[in-house]
Amino acid sequence: MYFDGMFVLIIIAFIFSMWAQFRVKGTFKKWAEVGTSTGMTGYEAARRLLDANGLHDVPVEPVPGTLSDHYDPINRVVRLSEPVYYERSISAVAVACHEVGHAIQHQEHYPMLVARHKMFPVVNIASGIAPFLLIAGFLFGAMNLIGLGIIFFSAAVAFQLVTLPVEFNASSRARQLMIQEGYIANDEERGVAKVLNAAALTYVAAALISLLELIRYIMIFTSNRE
For the annotated catalytic residues, the residue numbers are 99
* Strand ranges in 10-153 using DSSP code E only, listed in sequence order: 60-63, 70-72, 77-81
Distance CA 66, CA 199 (A): 13
Distance CA 83, CA 215 (A): 39
Containing 31, the helix (H) or strand (E) segment is: helix 2-32
In this structure, the number of other CB atoms found within 10 A of the CB of residue 121 comes to: 9
Distance CA 164, CA 59 (A): 25
Q: How many CA atoms lie within 13 A of 147 on its CB side?
A: 7
3-class DSSP assignment, residue 38: coil
